[in-house]
Amino acid sequence: MSKSARITKANGVFSGKSIMEFRDQLNRKLYFSKSPTRIISLVPSITELICDLGLESQLVGVTKFCVHPRHIRKEVTVVGGTKQVNFEKIKSLQPDIILCNKEENTLEMIQELVQIAPIHLSDIFNLEDVFELIGMYQEVFQVQTRAQDLISTITKEYQKFTYWMDGKPSKKVAYFIWKDPWMVAANQTFINAMLQQNHFENYFKSLERYPEVALNEVYDEVNLVLLSSEPYPFNVEHKNLLRKNFPNSQLVLADGEFFSWYGSRLQYAFKYFKTLHLDLTH
């Protein structure tokens, strides 16, 4: 289900060597004389995806936020976070490729990192983009069987959930990701795409990305407030803080990884969504 038309692999000659040409999700060209084997991932969900594609032994650098698989930060060099990294440490690891994301990593970082190694940039808004990215990694890292198995598994789980959701009514939802300032996920986000799969109409869909929300008014049209477990760790106390602003809403602590982690975590996301819906009816 990946858009293979956007993945171009061409053999040619560059400095006397046979080369392969690939593109990332910003349509940038990357060139390799052989499949890259020293990988740095600066995106937590991509780190998990790389491991599930059977490439864990080729990871040489990750971020401090790469929590899946749980052991990865003990076995692979931590090079910083998603917004700030140690460039000298990254350079010393001699990566063949660095995996980044347009949203999670900064432009300033990318501009510096491209001097060290080729950068493969992802840009994810929906499931189709996820399948495209897995297809791109399939080509770059030569992991056809693993990649296609993963796409098949996610697709089956998605289809089962879609069938189960058929005919279920929609709810107006606010999805909070941060406090001080209070911020929500709005349009043009992967979270919004996941909300739509759940028949959740994003109350803030007229806004884009992650806007701040003023809590000096009452949002009585909202049916459900989801408080994400990440990046801000909301808890029961925060539910109580928001009750006066959302008097007609169920307030629920949600697992943010299943709403925001694109990649192999989607294997399990749709089972979680079904459980979430069942809990909302009780």
The residue type at 267 = Q
Pick the CATH number of 168-280 from 3.40.50.1980, 3.40.1010.10, 3.40.91.10, 1.10.10.10: 3.40.50.1980
List, for residues 203-241, the tens digit of each pLDDT value: 999 999 999 998 999 999 999 999 999 999 999 999 999
Pick the CATH number of 4-153 from 3.10.105.10, 3.40.190.10, 3.40.50.720, 3.40.50.1980: 3.40.50.1980
Residues of the chain with CATH 3.40.50.1980: 4-153, 168-280
**Amino acid 18: pLDDT:** 80
**Amino acid 61: pLDDT:** 98
Of residues 177, 201, 193, the one with CA closest to residue 125: 193
**Amino acid 17: pLDDT:** 61
Interhelix angle 144-165/127-141, rounded to 10 degrees, is 170
List, for residues 79-117, the tens digit of each pLDDT value: 999 999 999 999 999 999 999 999 999 999 999 999 999
Distance CA 29, CA 188 (A): 25
